[in-house]
Amino acid sequence: MLNLKTKVLGMFAGAAMAAGALAAPAQAQETIKVGILHSLSGTMAISETTLKDVMLMLIEEQNKRGGVLGKKLEAVVVDPASNWPLFAEKARELIAQQKVAVTFGCWTSVSRKSVLPVFEELNSILFYPVQYEGEESSPNIFYTGAAPNQQAIPAIDYLLAEGVKRFVLEGTDYVYPRTTNRILEAYLLSKGVKAEDISVNYTPFGHSDWQTRVAAIKRFGSTGVKTAVVSTVNGDANVPFYKELGNQGIKATDIPVVAFSVGEEELAGIDTRPLVGHLAAWNYFQSVDNPANRDFIARWRAFKKNERAVTNDPMEAHVIGFAMWVKAVEAAGTTDATAVRRAMIGIAVPNLTGGISTMMPNHHITKPVLIGEIQANGQIQTVWQTPGTVVAQEWSPHLEGSRDLIADHRPPMNCGNFNVRTGRCGGAQR
C-alpha cells in the first residue's frame, strides 16, 4: 500500500492546477483581513511570538507591493496565551467576528487539534507552520511544517548510520511527542533495535526541574553502547533541559541529543557552549548560505531593528505558506475559502534553502530535510541533508490503521483519510 500512496502523491509534485473556473468576485471589504493565531504569553510564547512578528513583516512587505487583488492586507492578532481551549475561542473570533480571509497560527498539535473543528465548521483556512506527528489531513488546514518522514524518520536513520544502538525518546506530554514516539518506536523495532534499548519518557509543559530526569538519561547511556536522545521537548522547558545537560557534563560525544523542536530562537536564550555538537533536525537553518536566505535574514533584522535577530524553521514555513496563499488568491481571483483551497494544490514557491516547495494534494508541502550541529554561537550548522525535497506522508506506514490511508483533497476524492483497501473515505469531505 505504501507504493500506491507514494505513487498517488508523488506524481503531482511540481504540478500546477488552474483555478479560473472557481473564481468568484473579490470581497467587497476595504481590506483583506489576515488572522494571526500565536501565543504571545504562556509557556509557548518563547517560540510563537517570533511567528507573529514574521507574519507582520510579510504582510507589511506585501502591502508595499500593492497588497492582494488590489486591496491592502490587515493583520488581526490575537493571543491564545498557550491555553489550548482558548485557541478554539480565538479562532472562532477571528473567523466569525473579525471575518478574516485566512489564518496563520498554532504551534503545538494540541492547539491545532483544538481549532481544527472550528475551521472545518466555518469553512475557513489555517496555515500550520510547525513539524507535527502526522495522522491528519483536514480540508481546511495546509500543513507547511514537516510530517514525521520529513524530519523524525530521517533523524533516526542518521543516528543509526552513526552507530547509535540505544535511544531515549524524551518528550513533552501531549499529542505530538506521544504519536511521533509511537511511530519512532515501531520504526526502530523494524530496524532491529531491541525493545529494552528504547526508553520513553514525558514531562509536562513548562517542566523546569530536570536534574532527576537527566541523571536517568545519563545512567541509560552508561552501558558502553552508543546512546542518543531524540527530543520532542517543546517550549520553554528546553531552556532548563539543555542547561541541566551541561550541568551534568553530558556532551555530544557521550550522548548526542537530536531535537525536533529546538531552533535558533530557543538557543538564543541559553549558553550554547556546553551544547556544541548536539543535533537538531529541521527543514531550514539560519546558517544556510544562499542569496535568498541572506536577503530574508537582512529583511528580518531590519524589520526587528536588531542586527542579531535570528531566524528559524517555522518562520520559513510561514514565508512559504504566505507566498502560496497569495499566489492561490491571485489565481482564484477571490479570497473565498473554497476557491482558494482548490487553487492551492500544485502551487509552487521558492523555499529559503535554495529549492522549490510544492503544495501536494494531501495539503502538505514538499521539503528538504537537514540535520545540523549546534555551534558555540547559537547557530546550527548543516552536517547532512537530503539531495532534494521529500513528499510528506500524512499517514504513517509504520502504524496499524494508518498504513492503508491516503489524503487527496482534489475532486472527485476530496478526502483526508481515504482507505485504499476498503475504497472508503472516513473523514470530512468538501
Backbone angles phi, psi at 8, to 5 degrees: -60, -40
> pLDDT, tens digit, for every residue of 358-408?
999 999 999 999 999 999 988 999 999 999 999 999 999 999 989 999 999
pLDDT at res. 223? 94
Please choose, from the candidates 287, 228, 292, the residue with its C-alpha nearest in 3D space to the C-alpha of residue 258: 228
pLDDT at res. 263? 85
Q: What value does the mean pLDDT take over residues 304-330?
A: 97
Q: What value does the mean pLDDT take over residues 339-353?
A: 98
pLDDT at res. 14? 41
Length of the chain: 430
Cell of 101: 480571509
What lies within 8 Å, CB to CB, of 305 at 6+ separation is none
The Cα–Cα gap between 210 and 256 comes to 17
Per-residue pLDDT band for 428 (boundaries 50, 70, 90) equals low
> pLDDT, tens digit, for every residue of 158-172?
999 999 999 999 999
> pLDDT, tens digit, for every residue of 258-283?
999 888 887 887 788 878 999 999 99
pLDDT at res. 261? 84
Q: Is the peptide bond before 397 cis (omega within 30 degrees of 0)?
A: no
Q: Return the residue matching grid coordinates 493571543.
A: 79
What residue type is assigned to position 71 of the chain? K
> pLDDT, tens digit, for every residue of 63-120?
999 999 999 999 999 999 999 999 999 999 999 999 999 999 999 999 999 999 999 9
Q: What value does the mean pLDDT take over residues 144-148?
A: 97
Q: Specify the pTM.
A: 0.89
The Cα–Cα gap between 125 and 144 comes to 13
Enumerate domains of the chain plus CATH numbers. Answer: 12-146+292-365+407-416 (3.40.50.2300), 149-282 (3.40.50.2300)
